[in-house]
């Protein structure tokens, strides 16, 4: 199972630190960030967080990201009016 989230993590150092927290909490999952263009405000300007593994707890992942001080939501198949 793969779940994709959008976040406002902008900097490589922020992504690295957040990945460490996620990997510590979810050691059996494959996790990565794609840092995107932030010329527009969130949610149009965002980074992508991909998590692969069995039985992903979306609420837990969102809470972890929020505890690190960032916004996070599931990437839905919708268009943003940016």
pTM to 2 decimal places: 0.86
Taking only the tens of pLDDT, the chain with its 82 residues reads: 899 999 999 999 999 999 999 999 999 999 999 987 777 777 778 899 999 998 899 999 999 999 999 999 998 866 556 6
Q: Which domains does the chain have, with CATH numbers?
A: 2-74 (3.30.70.260)
Return contacts of 71-79, CB within 8 angstroms, 24+ apart: 71/7, 71/8, 71/42, 71/43, 72/5, 72/6, 72/7, 73/5, 73/6, 73/43, 74/3, 74/4, 74/5, 75/4, 75/5, 75/6, 75/48
């Amino acid at each position: 199972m793969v779940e994709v989230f959008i976040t406002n993590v902008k900097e490589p150092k922020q992504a690295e630190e957040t990945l460490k927290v996620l990997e510590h909490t979810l050691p059996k999952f494959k996790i990565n960030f794609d840092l995107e263009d932030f010329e527009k405000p969130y949610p149009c300007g965002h980074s992508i967080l991909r998590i692969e593994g069995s039985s992903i707890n979306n609420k837990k992942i969102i809470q972890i990201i929020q505890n690190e001080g960032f916004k996070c939501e599931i990437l839905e198949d919708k268009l943003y009016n940016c």
